[in-house]
Each structure stands twice: as structure tokens, then as C-alpha cells.
Amino acid sequence: MKIGFIGLGNMGLPMARNLHDAGHEVTGFDTAQVEAPFPLAGSASAAAAGAEVVITMLPNGKILRIVAEEVIPAMPDGAVLLDCSTVDVESARAVAEDAAKAGLGALDAPVSGGIGGAQGGTLTFMVGGTEEAFARAKPLFDIMGQKAVHCGPSGNGQAAKICNNMILGATMIVTCEAFALADRLGLDRQALFDVVSTSSGASWSVNSYCPAPGIGPASPADNGYAPGFAAELMLKDLGLAMEAADSVTADTPMGRAAFELYRTFVDEEDGKGRDFSAMLPRFERRNGG
């Protein structure tokens, strides 16, 4: 396929590289200077011109709307605008509506798996949009990731992402609380892990991404909490979840509590630039550790 790829940051560049390495004709664009193994265009519209699929990986919904306004007129009839950013549901649906009016397909397909998943082609895509557009993009999902789930109409990919990460944010906090409590009670961390990881308290935060250094599989905790998934990105996703909850008057007290804790951690403490699992040393300090 001829692909335009807009947004060549830590996630976008390796995703685009994987498509290029698989034999697709990729033209990229980013506002920052980057080095890539494929041609770079001078503008987003130039990267999109004539492309069968235009993929975007952008910071937020406002920028997505600006880029979509530029690239939609440059795309040929029947092409697909595939947005892999994590943005608000409203922006995703507005961009999809504009694309449909121009005779284009549109997919919102935020990802899970982080930079390592982007580099290794093992991302999970949560996809909203039509069945037809999903089928056209499926070969690209198979290159960039290990799984793509069609979640329904436009906006539902973003809805799935923020619901998933609301669960993740809350479970990571309570996991960190539990390890800090175990310390105060004199319970060995390895013993706690051995119990919880095979009992009813098991979760991805415990079993696969344990916030305690030296416990369980290797995780950012074993690297000084250098971010695999930065705390400020978790704060962004929890903020999107709270915006969505407010828009439909959903009651999400645990999600809101997680949002407030991460807001404090990032904005008022030392969370910025650290992994979201660095909540554990935060609770250690607060417990006098």
C-alpha cells in the first residue's frame, strides 16, 4: 500500500519503520526533524497526497483536528484515515464525520504496548469505525501489532482505551499501596507477590509489571522507574476518562480518585518523567519508609 504516516515520535517512527520494512510505500511527516529509512514530506498534506491509508500518531485531539482538516482534502476517494493517537472521544467522532463527508473511511485505533510494542510490532489496537475500513486496515494492524479488536463505530476505540487505562491506573495505585502496607506489616515482598500473583488479587499490575524492584518479571521498577509508560501519560488518559465520564454523567469515583492521585504525583511531587509504577516509592515515603 501507499501510506502517509504523520507523527514520527517515539511511537510513530518505529510503527512506520515496521510498515516500510514489510514492503509498503511509506511517506512520513513530522514537525520535528527526524531520521527515517523512508521519504519525508514537507507537510502533512504532501505526505497524505495519493495515499491509500493515512496514519496519524499525535499528542491530543486538538492537534488531530488540525491535521485532519489539512490532510482530508489531499486524500483520494475511498482512502482510510487511521488515527492511532489517544484522544478524546468527541474529537475522534468529529474527525470521522468529516472524513465520511469527504468520501473517506476513518478509524480511531489507539494502542496499548508502549514504545517496546511499537518497536517490536506487538501493539494491541482498539479500533472504532466501519467494518469496511477495519478490513482494509487489518493487514497494517497485523504488521504493527499482535492484536486488533474492532470495538464498534467511530469513537469506540478511544472509549475502550480510556476504560482500559482507567482500570490500569486504579489497579496500579492499589498494588503500590499493598506493597507499601506489606512493608509496614513486616511481610516480605516476594511472599506477597507469590500469594497475590496466584490468588484473587492477581492483575497485570502485579503479575506482569510489578512496581517492586526485583520482584516478578523485569519492569521499570528494576531500572530506577525510568518510564515504560510515563506517569504524565497515565494522567492524560485518566483525564480523558474523566472528561468522557462527565459527558455522559457516568459515576466513576475510583477512576476520579486515581486521576487526582496521579495529578498530585505529576504536578506537585516527583512523578513527572517517571514510570507510572513509581507510585510505590511515593507511598513508601508517605509511610515513613
Q: What angle do CA 161, 162, 166 make, to 5 degrees?
A: 120
Q: Are the CB atoms for 152 and 130 separated by under 8 Å?
A: no
At the topology level, CATH places domain 159-287 in N-(1-d-carboxylethyl)-l-norvaline Dehydrogenase; domain 2 (1.10.1040)
pLDDT at 7: 98
Ranges of beta strands (E only) in 74-122 are 80-83, 105-108, 111-112
Q: Per the residue annotation, which of 62, 101, 138, 161 is the catalytic one? A: 161
What pTM did the predictor assign?
A: 0.92
Residue by residue, pLDDT tens for the chain (289 residues) are 999 999 999 999 999 999 999 999 999 999 999 999 999 999 999 999 999 999 999 999 999 999 999 999 999 999 999 999 999 999 999 999 999 999 999 999 999 988 889 999 999 999 999 999 999 999 999 999 999 999 999 999 999 999 999 999 999 999 999 999 999 999 999 999 999 999 999 999 999 999 999 999 999 999 999 998 999 999 999 999 999 999 999 999 999 999 999 999 999 999 999 999 999 999 999 876 5
Task: Please indicate whether residue 147 is annotated as part of the active site.
Answer: no
CA 179 to centroid of chain Cα atoms: 26
Domain with CATH 3.40.50.720 in the chain: 2-152
pLDDT at 204: 96
CATH class of 2-152: alpha beta
DSSP state of 73: G
Domain with CATH 1.10.1040.10 in the chain: 159-287
Burial of 239 (0-12, 13-18, 19+ CB in 10 A): middle
